[in-house]
Amino acid sequence: MRFSTLAGLAAVAGSASAAIQGFNTGAFFLDQSAKKQVDFAYEFRRAQNLPNTSGWTSTRLYTMIQWGTASDVIEAIPAAIETKTSLLLGLWTSGSSQAITNEITALKAAINTYGTAFTDLVVGISVGSEDLYRDSKPDEIGIGPATLIDYISQVRNAIAGTPLEGKPVGHVDTYDSFLNGTNSAVIDAIDWLGFDGYPYWESNNANSIGDAHERFWEGYNKTLALSKGKPVWVTETGWPVSGPTQNQAVANAENAQIYWQDIACNLVAQNINIFWYTLQESQMGQAAIDFGLFPAGDLFQVEPYFNLAC
């Protein structure tokens, strides 16, 4: 009895400082059609009403811009207001030097249009996503550390004097990119680090589902060690339900459930902010590698691939 009381108290104390739990949310469906406010709201409501799990009340966006427009505010913002979904904002910074300018235009427009109904929902802002990683690859388009630091300072200037001032500004990248000494000045410029970790993709390491726990925490711990004391948020992780085998990593629902129960459930228990990849990947098409908890179809009609209970 005494133990169960203590466990109950611990559960209450834990919930008081609960981790932020959310999903990564793309701006468009698989067929490249733009998600509208109604689509975003539908996803957010589903995330808040998952069977056998709770607390998934946040979302991470990659861009502030509505897909298919130059700099209109992404309709995920009014959808988040409508559903009381908290927001990790993202500004897409690769591709052209115009990108950050357009992102900042949309960010300012969102503040002006929606005011504190919007800004009160913001838990953080990520300037960029895996840009340093892509920059180190010959055939991919990213940006280097000096450009990224300039963009971070542009974003800080843009939110100064607005209700978003003081919201933590970070950057999302792979841990080996943060580890690269060339990039260490980026860490000085941000308030938190976003860690993306996918044991499935770690083909040069032992990466069976049985190794996944070790791979994930090795990456997370390395990121924490180089974070200069700043918080490390898990901004992307997941295991695919279908797709080709990568080294020893087999994509299926059984392994995706093992990974969810181990990684998602443990992160929540440890109060580490987590943005899962992802709620539903196949919609208006079938993803070749599908990381979704749900298959294609109406999110409130289809069942998740596996039991989400922790």
Interface with ligand NAG by CB under 6 A: which residues? Answer: 51-52, 132, 135-136, 144, 180, 182-183, 214, 217-218, 221, 303, 307, 309
In the complex, least distance from residue 102 CB atom to ligand NAG, rounded to whole angstroms: 24
Among this protein's residues, is 236 annotated catalytic? yes
Q: What is the DSSP string of 169-216?
A: EEEEEEHHHHHSGGGHHHHHH-SEEEEE--GGG-TTS--STTTHHHHH
User: Which residue(s) pair with 122 in the sheet?
Assistant: 87
The catalytically annotated residue of 236, 254, 281, 303 is: 236
Tell me how far apart the alpha carbons of residues 155 and 215 are, in angstroms, rounded to a whole number: 33
**In sequence order, which ranges of the chain are alpha helices (DSSP H)?**
2-16, 37-48, 76-83, 98-119, 131-135, 145-159, 175-179, 184-189, 212-225, 253-259, 265-269
In the complex, least distance from residue 187 CB atom to ligand NAG, rounded to whole angstroms: 13
Residue 229 CB coordination number (10 Å)? 6
Q: Which is nearer to ligand NAG, 65 or 190 (CB)?
A: 190
In the complex, least distance from residue 212 CB atom to ligand NAG, rounded to whole angstroms: 11
Question: Angle between the 37-48 and 76-83 helix axes, to the nearest 10 degrees?
Answer: 40
In the complex, least distance from residue 273 CB atom to ligand NAG, rounded to whole angstroms: 17
The alpha carbon of residue 120 and the mean position of all alpha carbons in its chain are separated, in whole angstroms, by 19
The catalytically annotated residue of 43, 75, 130, 281 is: 130
Specify whether the CB–CB gap between 245 and 233 falls below 8 A.
no
CA angle 284, 290, 292 (to 5 degrees): 80
Q: Which is nearer to ligand NAG, 15 or 182 (CB)?
A: 182
Take residue 178 and report the two structure tokens written for it. Answer: 């943060």
In the complex, least distance from residue 243 CB atom to ligand NAG, rounded to whole angstroms: 22
Q: Which is nearer to ligand NAG, 14 or 144 (CB)?
A: 144
Q: Which is nearer to ligand NAG, 61 or 256 (CB)?
A: 256
Q: Which is nearer to ligand NAG, 17 or 52 (CB)?
A: 52
What amino acid positions are annotated as catalytic residues?
A: 130, 236
